A and B are shown apart, each in its own frame.
Chain A
């Protein structure tokens, strides 16, 4: 979401620059950079979380072998 807004602002800054509104374009450009940075960071965190959950769900035979024996839950 943040990333999408950032890209839109970036395009708007470019358009303003073309129209000759350099000062306004510069401020919009800076705001767009901030949005893109926040959006990119959020995405990376999500991807890492997903990878961690996947690893936890499926231990390999080798990992199972190395686990200690635990009392059965009966």
Chain B
């Protein structure tokens, strides 16, 4: 089982959740015949993150159900009791994603997270585990526990600075950086006098994968829907770029 996180350091609003959730769904679909539970998704955002809300399908669905917060607080001993399955039926067959979330703001220790990962690996045997964490600092429990880190930045100097400081700290192999919400008309960083593409290449040593700003992605998010399941690459350049990155992940991580 490979563990992957999309990271922007202490910076929020860069699109980590959108990238993690869409990539997880795409790989779950791609590997639907390879493993029974090909992809597991951890939403570590306290008080229910956006990804968990979308996967649950109803903001009230989390009420009364065990979550990772209960495991962190010692109310349940088996972390798998806090895991759920979301299943989709499409014209080309059914596929599923296993996920969990934090219903309350209870600190999860590194030891608990490590134990939970061991249980997931031994009992669910997924190919990949996606971790969607809120903007993280050096004290985050995920530090040192991931195999792959995908840096996500927006055309914003603070996003770039916050991300580059934390990529090394989290550990794991760095994947191709992502330049999200890119507007081609504003391609130059006014602070550096250099194109954003070159600036990111200079920072991370690799040309970024560009995901253009796309109003349709915003509309799908407002509808609490998973973009790649409701929009076609032909109508949405954002979805097209998400699919291309998932293909890259499948060839690199899988």
Give the interface residue-count category, chain B.
20 to 34
Is residue A74 contacting chain B, with contact meaning CB distance below 8 A?
yes
Known pairs A59-B216, A64-B231; A71 contacts B91 (CB<8 A): yes
Q: A71-B90, A71-B91, A74-B29 are in contact. List 17 more A-B contacts (CB 8 A).
A: A59-B216, A61-B223, A64-B216, A64-B220, A64-B225, A65-B223, A65-B224, A67-B230, A69-B229, A70-B90, A70-B232, A71-B92, A71-B93, A72-B29, A72-B229, A72-B243, A74-B228
Chain B contact residues, majority secondary structure? helix
- In whole angstroms, what is the CA distance A61 to B217 when docked? 10
Taking CB atoms, residues of chain A closer than 8 Å to B88 are 69
Taking CB atoms, residues of chain B closer than 8 Å to A57 are 235
Taking CB atoms, residues of chain B closer than 8 Å to A49 are none
Within 8 A of B (CB), among A33-74: 57-62, 64-65, 67, 69-74
A-B contacts at CB below 8 angstroms, number: 55
Chain A contact residues, majority secondary structure? loop
- In whole angstroms, what is the CA distance A64 to B215 when docked? 12
The 7 closest A-B pairs by CB, nearest first: A71-B90, A61-B223, A61-B222, A65-B223, A71-B92, A61-B219, A64-B223
Give the B-binding residues of A (Cβ under 8 A): 57-62, 64-65, 67, 69-74
B185 to chain A, nearest CB (A): 18
Q: Is the beta-carbon distance between A59 and B219 smaller than 8 angstroms?
A: yes
Known pairs A64-B225, A65-B225; A71 contacts B220 (CB<8 A): no
Taking CB atoms, residues of chain A closer than 8 Å to B29 are 71-72, 74
Selected contact of A72 from candidates B25, B222, B250, CB within 8 Å:
B25
Is residue B12 contacting chain A, with contact meaning CB distance below 8 A?
no
Is residue B252 contacting chain A, with contact meaning CB distance below 8 A?
no
- In whole angstroms, what is the CA distance A71 to B220 when docked? 16
Q: Is the beta-carbon distance between B223 and A73 smaller than 8 angstroms?
A: no
- In whole angstroms, what is the CA distance A73 to B88 when docked? 15
